[in-house]
Amino acid sequence: MDFKGTAVLITGGASGIGKATVTQLMGAGASVICADIDQTKGKALIEEARKSGFAVDYEPIDLTDSGSVRRCAAAVLARHSKIDVLVNAAGFGEFNLFVDTPPDYLEKLIHGNLIGALHLTQALLPQMIGIRRGKIVNVSSDAGRVGSTGETVYAAAKGGMIAFTKSLAREVARYNINVNCICPGPTDTPLLNTRSDKLKEAFIKAIAFRRLGKPEEIADAIVFFAGPKSNYITGQVLSVSGGLTFVG
């Protein structure tokens, strides 16, 4: 697909699924802005892109801080005349039973995996409405569709992303804005590498293809929803999980 002339903002773009999406879209000609909390990785991404003959913009963001999110959106819009595609790809979480999750961390998980994306989307949506087009791709998780022991709060936030996708899609269809959602299964990312080997082995046994997903495979689905081949699709939730879940 050709993304020339398309400006794309990707949260969590400095590593994992977000970085794989940045790589694919900049290779397809998009003007890519990476928003990430890790400034070291963000600057490294700029240098990697430069060495490959591409240019990537970077803007720091802390999705657990609504002020940071709003400042990021304002800075991006000050440098770019429009954002055609928003990919809410950032996410994080630790493996904790719900009863053992500290209250302050509970709130941090909800803010970082749901509320931050709500603030960013709300800040960028008016200019999409103004140009009467746009694509919003939310990255949730299969944990948000079917639940996951040890990830209850994370799953709650990701379930919220699914509901947000469906409701927003109804609101903004009149402006020719598509809103869709990707639900990755266990994927070989820095986040998964914080889990124990025993847990990763259990995931692999539960996956029909008997392997973890690759970030690039999740990025393939994100790029599809970001591009013109999905113009007649909105409000949809797609699991990319190697057959871990079969959801009707």
Residues 189 and 215: beta-carbon distance below 8 Å: yes
Residues tagged active-site: 154
The Cα–Cα gap between 113 and 119 comes to 11
pLDDT of 87 reads: 98
Domain count, the chain: 1
Q: Indicate the SS3 state at residue 133.
A: coil
36 located within any domain: yes
- Long-range contacts (CB closer than 8 Å, 24 or more residues apart) made by 128-133: 128/82, 128/83, 128/84, 128/172, 128/175, 128/177, 129/172, 129/175, 129/177, 131/82, 132/175, 132/176, 133/84, 133/175, 133/176, 133/177
51 located within any domain: yes
Q: For residue 218, what is the domain's CATH number?
A: 3.40.50.720
247 located within any domain: no
Residues 11 and 117: beta-carbon distance below 8 Å: yes
pLDDT of 193 reads: 66
List the structure tokens of 100: 């053992």
Q: Residue 246's closest CA among 153, 145, 151?
A: 145
Range of the domain at 189: 7-240
The Cα–Cα gap between 24 and 20 comes to 6
- Map tokens 């809103």 to a residue: 179
1 located within any domain: no
Chunked in runs of 10, what are the mean pLDDT values of the chain (248 residues)?
95 96 97 97 96 95 98 97 96 91 95 98 98 98 90 96 98 98 86 70 80 91 98 97 76
pLDDT of 192 reads: 64
Residue 65: how many other CB atoms lie within 10 Å? 16
2 located within any domain: no
Residues 241 and 142: beta-carbon distance below 8 Å: yes
pLDDT of 25 reads: 98
List the structure tokens of 11: 């949260």
Residues 10 and 33: beta-carbon distance below 8 Å: yes
245 located within any domain: no
Residues 3 and 30: beta-carbon distance below 8 Å: yes
Residues 1 and 28: beta-carbon distance below 8 Å: yes
